[in-house]
Structure formats: structure tokens, C-alpha cells
A and B are shown apart, each in its own frame.
Chain A
Amino acid sequence: MAMTMHVDVVSAERSLFSGLAEFLVAPAEMGEVGVYPRHTPLITRIKPGTVRLKLPDHDEEELIYVSGGLLEIQPQVVTILADTALRGRDLDEAKAQEAKQRAEEAMRDRSASMDYAKAQAELAEAVAQLHAIQRLRKQK
């Protein structure tokens, strides 16, 4: 039997693959890397692409799509920390900008949008008062 290594492909939201494999190809940042068991320890970023796994007793390769992340290789264990979202400096920056803007807007119209909850509470109070008044009238 060929040598195998343990491969974990995990993302923050769920585990994508966990098991033994004979060979693995991942799209590393500096080019594709092929990994056999007893590879020297290596850590690198990976680009969006497919990870191919050769599983023992299977002729076909297992394909897993990852949208980037980190690849950590140890002699017997390979871990792929996959991203669940498309990442990139620009993309992240855009998201941060958007978040910042929203925060600023929220700060600016403190009075307008914010107090939906407060208005709701006031409305409930007014309704309760009306009920009370109606009840008082009935009693008279």
C-alpha cells in the first residue's frame, strides 16, 4: 500500500474534507504545489482554485474548490485553511470602506433611523394609555 498522509480541509463555517490521501495538488500563491507524504514543513497562501486529492483505493481524484486560504504542510498532516469568501486586498478594503460609511451614516442620523425601536416603544405606551382611558370611561 502506498504511503498516506492525513488531509484536513476546513473552513470557518464547516469542515470540507478530512481523511487520508496519497497525493495532493493545491494552487499555491507561487504556483501549483504537489504534495506527497513526508513533505518538508511548508506554509503558504493559496489562490482560489481546485485542490485535487488522490485518495487510497480510489482511481478518481477528489476535487475540492477553495476560494483561497492557507496551506500548511507537515510530514504526516496537511491542513488547508480555506476561506469561505473571496478575499483580496482590494475586496477587503472595499468591504471595510462600506462598513465605515455605514457606521458614519448611522452616527449622523442618530435621530432618524435609529429610533424605530424607541418609536415602537412609545407607540405601545400610547396604545396602552388609550386602552386604560377607554376602560375608565366604560366604568363611569
Chain B
Amino acid sequence: MAGGKEIRTKIKSVQNTQKITRAMEMVAASKMRKAQDRMRAARPYAEKIRNVAAHLSHANPEYKHPFLVKRDSLRRIGVIVVTSDKGLCGGLNTNVLRMVLGRMKEWEGANHGVEICAVGTKALGFMQRMGASILSHVTHLGDTPHMEKLIGPVKVVLDAYNEGRIDALYICYTRFINTMKQEPVLEQLLPISGEALGSATGHWDYIYEPDAKAVVDELLVRYIETLVYQAVAENIASEQSSRMVAMKAASDNAGNVIDELKLIYNKTRQAAITKELSEIVAGAAAV
């Protein structure tokens, strides 16, 4: 039978763990709120840029940007994998990576090569272990993602698309639905489908300065960058809420373990007292 002291130390250690998980839960809860705000703050820009891009692509039928043209042969596929930098956030990263892995197997089965752009330490580590071909990566984005850090890695992927090294581009991240629910999604970025942009409104056209091509080129690059940024922002909000939920569960579990241990501890203590008493009584009777 375990001694009273050992159980006490065990209880102490579980209590310490519980303190940590509870603190992490609260930190994640407050970060989550900010992350959600940031995610929403990015929406108007994305919406505006989508509207303008939609209009431009419909208003200029004579100029087709390569991003809008579907290629006949699909040889290599690029995937931007967005994960968190840190762990302890439930199944968030596992779900995303499992989804990507499933798709990669499918593509490789169909003889398509896969190129990876990893966002977040977890994606990078996983892809390195898998031996995937990594085009670019970015890690340690922190709680506030900055466009500046994403420009380089995204440009590498877009250049690869322009040069024909990849023929399609997907992005995989965790979509934030609500605090309790986040789900991994895989979306196509390139080529941009007409439906994604929606239909044009009206039949007028802009005056372009300096010319339509330059403006459209720049706009579409921004559009893709915005989508990636949005995915990263959404992933961070998902990460925080997922961590909050995971840490809450961990705190609750620690509470249960403590209760059980206390019960065992009290039982042992009671048993020891009873034993001692009966020994005394027996001793007295013998005299």
C-alpha cells in the first residue's frame, strides 16, 4: 500500500500542473479575444480587394492574368500549410497535417508532385520529417501576424506558379467557426476561379494609371497575399480558442485526479488510525 507521504507529494504535483493549465487557459482566453478582433479587422480589406479584382477580371476580357487561367496539365501542386508555432492546443495541428497528408498521398498517387510552403514551426517540422519538398517557410509569427513576414514566402510560391514549377496552389489552415468549433479546411488559391470572385456589377470601366496590366498584376498578388494573411489570422484565433478548450479540459481532469487521490489518501490515513487503535485495544486487553 502506498504511503501517506507519497500520495501527498503526488497531490501536490498534480495541483501544480493544474495551476499551470489554468493559467494557460486564462492567457489563451484573453489572447483569443484579440485574435478574433484581428481576424475581423482583416475582412474589409479582403472584401474590397475581391470586389475590385472581380470587376477587373470581368472588365478586361482581352487581358488574362496567368492567375486566372486554368492550366491544361497538372503536374506539380503547391500547398501552403498553416499551423501554429506552439503545441498544447488540442488536435488543431494534427487535424490540419492529417488533412494535408491525405491529400498529398492522393496527389502523389495521381503522379502529381507536391511543393510545400510551411507557415508555423509545427508544419515545418512535420514536413521536414516527411521529407517533403519545401519551397519556403515562415515561423515565429507571434500573436499578431504581420503582412511583412508573409510577403517573401508567398512571393516564392507565386513565382514558382508564374514559372510553371507548380500548376495549382492550395492553402490548408484551421477555420475559426466559433470558440468551441474549428475545422481544418483545404482551399484552392490558384488558379483563381471565376466563381470565387463573383460576377461583375455594371458595364462601366475604370481609367487605369499607368495601365490595366500593371494594376491587375499588382492587385492579384495582393489578393493572394490577403487570403494567406486571412488564413493565418484565422489560424491564430483557432489556435487560441483550441488551446483554451484543451487547457480547460486539462484543468478539469487534474481536478478529478486530485479528488481521487484525496480519497485514497484519506482512506489510507483512516486505515492507519484504525489499525493503531485496534492494536492499542488489543494490547490493553492482553494486559
Contacts and interface: CB of A to CB of B under 8 A. Distances in A.
Interface in A81-97: 81, 83-85, 87, 92-93, 95-97
Contact of B125 (A13, A29, A42, A117): A117
Contact of A99 (B153, B215, B226): B153
A84 B159 contact: no
Interface string A113-131: 0110110000000000000
27 contacts: A10-B45, A12-B42, A12-B147, A13-B229, A14-B41, A15-B41, A29-B210, A41-B207, A42-B207, A42-B209, A43-B52, A45-B209, A45-B210, A45-B218, A70-B52, A72-B52, A92-B152, A97-B152, A99-B156, A100-B135, A100-B136, A103-B135, A103-B156, A106-B128, A106-B137, A107-B133, A115-B125
Interface residues of A, number: 42
A102 interface: yes
A85 B146 contact: yes
User: Which 5 pairs between the two chains have the least Cβ-Cβ distance?
Assistant: A95-B152, A99-B152, A44-B209, A85-B148, A96-B155
Nearest to B228: A12
Interface string B110-130: 000000000001001100110
A70 B210 CA distance: 12
Nearest to B46: A12
Interface of B: 38, 41-42, 44-46, 48-49, 52, 56, 121, 124-125, 128-129, 131, 133-138, 146-148, 151-153, 155-156, 159, 204-210, 214-215, 218-219, 222, 225-226, 229
B155 A79 contact: no
Interface of B, secondary structure class, is helix
Given A43-B56, A95-B151, A103-B156, 12 more contacts: A8-B48, A41-B205, A42-B208, A43-B215, A72-B52, A79-B52, A81-B45, A84-B148, A100-B135, A102-B137, A106-B124, A114-B129
Contacts of B225: 12
B151 A85 contact: yes
Contacts of B41: 13-15
A62 B167 CA distance: 46
A8 B43 CA distance: 13
Given A11-B45, A43-B209, A92-B155, A70 B219 contact: yes
